[in-house]
Structure 1
Amino acid sequence: MRSISSRQRSRILELEEDARPLDPDAGERDRLMAEVHAYAQRFLDGLPERPAYRHDKSAVREIRKLGFGRGPQPLAGLIDRIDESVAGVGLVPSHGGHLGYIPGGGIYASSLGDYLAAVTNEYAGVRFTGPGAVEIEDLILDWMASFAGFPAGADGNLASGGSIASLIAVVTAREAAGLRARDYERAVVYSSAHTHHCLHKAIRVAGLAEAVRREVSRDGDLRLCPDSLAKLVAEDRARGLRPWLVLGSAGTADTGQVDPLDRIADVCEREGLWFHVDAAYGGFFALVEGCRRVLAGMERADSLVLDPHKGMFLPYGTGAVLIRDGEALQDAHAYYASYLQDTVESEWGGRSPAAVSPELTKHFRGLRVWLPLLLYGEAPFRACLEEKLELARYFHGEIGALGFEVGPEPPLSVVTYRWVPKSGTADAFNQALVEETHRDGRVFLSSTTIDGTFWLRMAVLAFRTHLDTIDLALEVLAEAVERLEAHPERWRSEASAEAPAEALAGGGGG
């Protein structure tokens, strides 16, 4: 046995004692958990009384006044700061009144899964060291592949969200096509104006910034036009370019529209193109029987992205990618390191998540998906999704009845609409209108620009959003319009006031 000096021994034991707060005993754990649990209960019970959005963000400055790492501080005070300066400012994503962007979720059972994943600190990156964690993630991916209609040979990865999932898909498509740096200037990517920006970012991060981008025209419902796609592909081949990747959407963030996926898949199969479908928002609606027709063709994609933190109402940080050809996924991402040689085994078989993703250190995010699905089954998720579809249709009809100009009938749960004032520019009015709803704060609505025209949009996907929420949103909008119409000086500039009224409804998009 190696000898140790009394001085070294004393120092080691002293450091051990100083570090002991990092490993509290059962009594201290109970005390800390009681305070956290009590706050969680107060927060959740008080959600209906909180505003969905708080315009005043001055409380954020108080965070820095606490300092950072200077010494121990009581948990109660830290929880109060979290409540006031984090949960109490800006958007409250867990609120039923979150009707902007594409709402995230945050179901309670998932928080318990996250707690257990953090306490056990399971590593979900390598099958050898965390076989149970990897098996759970594999089961989740198999389930997603099944309802999405992917074949048995498909593979995938649970990622932190749609952005990393999209990057995995783009890199897999690049490698499957055998593209090398010398090919990038000739490789052509086809998308519509409403393709999510994370895909364009993924293309750039994947080293393909020099690739040729083609914006495919849209039909009257703002969906990518397959005939236009086929024409562009033929023209690019005639130019000596290399058509490569088509980006389709199963629910765009701007308008919620679903591209005609089946017809796009026909073009891709005929032309030998990789077909990627962004179903981050809309993919889980495939669990609803009536939506399968809308999403027809999604199962023909070469790669598919889904976000469980959207359509499964889970906490942020849960995305997924499915690749039809599982071997293509592994060929694109697998690497070997000598210090991991012990992890190569044949007993359990199968690949490790770290081999098919940029992530090596991998949080056990599968538990937040697995636990609520086994706790409740599929039925409540399916019912919640169908409820959101019905609420969007209800809002579309009611907002039109209030006198708003409305966009297309929603195939999923996003509705676009705007108010056209009797005088002044509609864009200025609607920009003021969305700002007026933000100041009100009872619900949170967002906006977008379509073909140069400013539109408001409502996205129904928060699991706490119900009929009374939509009625409240209609009330907030009607009151805001009345206030702005009564005080035109709040939105109408001198220039816009001179614009002819008949020109105000122009701009397209509806």
Structure 2
Amino acid sequence: MRSISSRQRSRILELEEAARPLEPDTGERDRLMESAHAYAQRLLNELPDRPAYNHDKSAAAGLRRLRIGADTLPIEALIERVDESVVRPGLLPSHGGHLGYVPGGGIYASSLGDYLAAVTNEYAGVRFAGPGSVEMEDLILDWMASLVGFPESSDGNLASGGSIASLIAVVTAREAAGLRARDYERAVVYASAHTHHCLHKAIRVAGMGEAVRREVARDRHFRLCPDSLAELVAADRARGLRPWLVLGSAGTADTGAVDPLGPIAEVCEREGLWFHVDAAYGGFFALVEACRPLLAGMERADSLVLDPHKGMFLPYGTGAVLIRDGEALQDAHAYYASYLQDTVESEWGGRSPAAVSPELTKHFRGLRVWLPLLLYGEAPFRACLEEKLELARYFHREIEALGFEVGPEPQLTVVTYRWVPESGDANAFNRALVEETHRDGRVFLSSTTIDGTFVVRMAALAFRTHLHTIDQALEVLREAVERLEAHPERWRPRVDAAKARG
């Protein structure tokens, strides 16, 4: 074997020395960790006093003053830049006042799981390489399947969120039905107007943008009507179309409505349709005994999506898909390559997550789920979910007492409401109302449009949202209405405002 030249040896050692900052020693690791931990502690301690929403987003541009790859700064300065340009502008998702979109979580124990996952850099895509990380994911999926009532023959995947999880489900449904490109324009998808848009996107990304879409009627509580579904399916069969996929919801983003899952499942089973349930928001309420009847029928779905970063209060980037027929999941997604031939047979056996997902490079996200569950058990998660249910009911009652027009009694933790002024455009008033709350910033509320009516939403799911948060939201809304009624020029066209003053 040819020996290395002294020149080459010197160059290699020189490069090794230049790369040494990437492998800090014990003392440097302690120093870096001390700075990061100090900031985390300060942020968490200051959260109640920080605004939930900062309307001024100009500080984000401060990131551009640092040239990536060229500038270097001490860790303290970089953390300060993160705080000023990333954490402070816009929405603060870790804040208990995040009452807008269905909130994500961020419990502290999960951050430690993420830290350990990054330090160990365990690979969770192939069982041969990471048997422990894959086994941990399997155990988590088994726990979720048991929670929702899926059989032991089911399978699933921990994904980055509901969107990728939905894509996995749609592709599995497509392959299980044996659909090919020539069939797409005859295949029919049934959904309500409040079905989450990520599912429609998943259908398009799966190559089925030509599929026929049918909007199923809703009842007065915004739930999909099984009778309407059955009528549409019968009519489509008579037209020579191919009814294929039904999209149900266990908690819609707009109103938090839970579709009648049992009766929908009966239609699907009778007609041979794939039944998918979007339980990204509402699925984990199965932990609360009182919610079990509401979610009955979820266990009859062919595929189901859950978002632990919602109902389990974990950091963003934690979704899950469950498929009733585990073999269908594997048949739809399994691919193998010759360079991975060593990984096919392992003493551990079983399939690898990379074989049932678009992800080959797969983050070890199981640790952020496993660690808090083993630290605390189910009980505090159950209590937190039940607390949010009570807070939503309390808000619904109190906001009506303030004079707001309210939507249906909340099934989960989303409440819709609006203020109806004595005269003028109610939609314009409520758009201005949302803007007023954003400028206030103490809490963050959002809006949606239902059948042409602009309504305001309150979604209580952040684990730091408590009774005092809801009372503060009520105060913010009351004060905002008073300001807008005192200054109609803020929401009415100038002519209308002048008339009001005259």
Bin for the TM-score computed over the shorter chain: over 0.9
Q: Deviations over 1:183-226 (max 9, x none)?
A: 00000000000000000000000000000000001011111110
Equivalence map 1:191-340=2 (5 Å): 191-340=191-340
- Whether the 8 Å contact between 1:306 and 1:321 is mirrored in structure 2 is yes
SS across alignment from 2:252: coil
Normalising to structure 2: TM-score of the pair? Answer: 0.99
Name the stretch that deviates more: 169-178 or 217-226.
217-226
Q: Deviations over 1:67-92 (max 9, x none)?
A: 11114211111000000110011000
- Whether the 8 Å contact between 1:95 and 1:464 is mirrored in structure 2 is yes
Which residue in 1 is equivalent to 2:168? 168
SS across alignment from 2:247: strand
CA positional deviation for 1:496 = 6.1
CA distance in 2, matches of 1:146, 1:498: 62
CA distance in 2, matches of 1:349, 1:265: 34
SS across alignment from 1:33: helix
Q: Structure 1: which amino acid aligns with 2:298? A: M
Which residue in 2 is equivalent to 1:505? none
SS across alignment from 2:259: coil
Equivalence map 1:411-426=2 (5 Å): 411-426=411-426
Q: Deviations over 1:244-296 (max 9, x none)?
A: 00000000000000000000000000000000000000000000000001111
Equivalence map 1:103-142=2 (5 Å): 103-142=103-142
- Whether the 8 Å contact between 1:137 and 1:158 is mirrored in structure 2 is yes
- Whether the 8 Å contact between 1:425 and 1:496 is mirrored in structure 2 is no
Q: Structure 1: which amino acid aligns with 2:46? A: G
Q: Structure 2: which amino acid aligns with 1:490? A: R
* Residue 29 of structure 2 is aligned to residue 34 of structure 1: no
- Whether the 8 Å contact between 2:280 and 2:305 is mirrored in structure 1 is yes
CA distance in 2, matches of 1:458, 1:46: 23
CA positional deviation for 1:495 = 6.6
CA positional deviation for 1:345 = 1.4
CA positional deviation for 1:2 = 3.2
Which residue in 2 is equivalent to 1:479? 479
- Whether the 8 Å contact between 1:423 and 1:499 is mirrored in structure 2 is no
CA distance in 2, matches of 1:440, 1:346: 58
CA distance in 1, matches of 2:6, 2:406: 80
CA 149–271 in structure 1, closer or farther in 2 if over 3 Å, else same:
same
Q: Structure 1: which amino acid aligns with 2:336? A: Y
Q: Structure 1: which amino acid aligns with 2:314? A: L
CA distance in 1, matches of 2:480, 2:73: 44
Q: Which runs of 5+ in 1 are unaligned?
A: 501-510
- Whether the 8 Å contact between 1:423 and 1:497 is mirrored in structure 2 is no
- Whether the 8 Å contact between 2:128 and 2:346 is mirrored in structure 1 is no
- Whether the 8 Å contact between 2:127 and 2:346 is mirrored in structure 1 is no
Q: Structure 2: which amino acid aligns with 1:243? A: P
Normalising to structure 1: TM-score of the pair? Answer: 0.97
* Residue 116 of structure 2 is aligned to residue 154 of structure 1: no
Q: Structure 2: which amino acid aligns with 1:312? A: M
Q: Structure 1: which amino acid aligns with 2:352? A: S
CA distance in 2, matches of 1:134, 1:336: 17
- Whether the 8 Å contact between 1:391 and 1:470 is mirrored in structure 2 is yes
Which residue in 2 is equivalent to 1:353? 353
CA 187–499 in structure 1, closer or farther in 2 if over 3 Å, else same:
farther
CA positional deviation for 1:349 = 1.2
SS across alignment from 2:322: strand
CA positional deviation for 1:344 = 1.2
Q: How many residues are matched?
A: 500
CA RMSD of aligned residues (A): 1.2
SS across alignment from 1:330: helix
Which residue in 2 is equivalent to 1:393? 393
CA positional deviation for 1:15 = 0.5
Q: Structure 2: which amino acid aligns with 1:151? A: P
Q: Deviations over 1:370-396 (max 9, x none)?
A: 000000110000000000000000000
CA positional deviation for 1:463 = 0.1
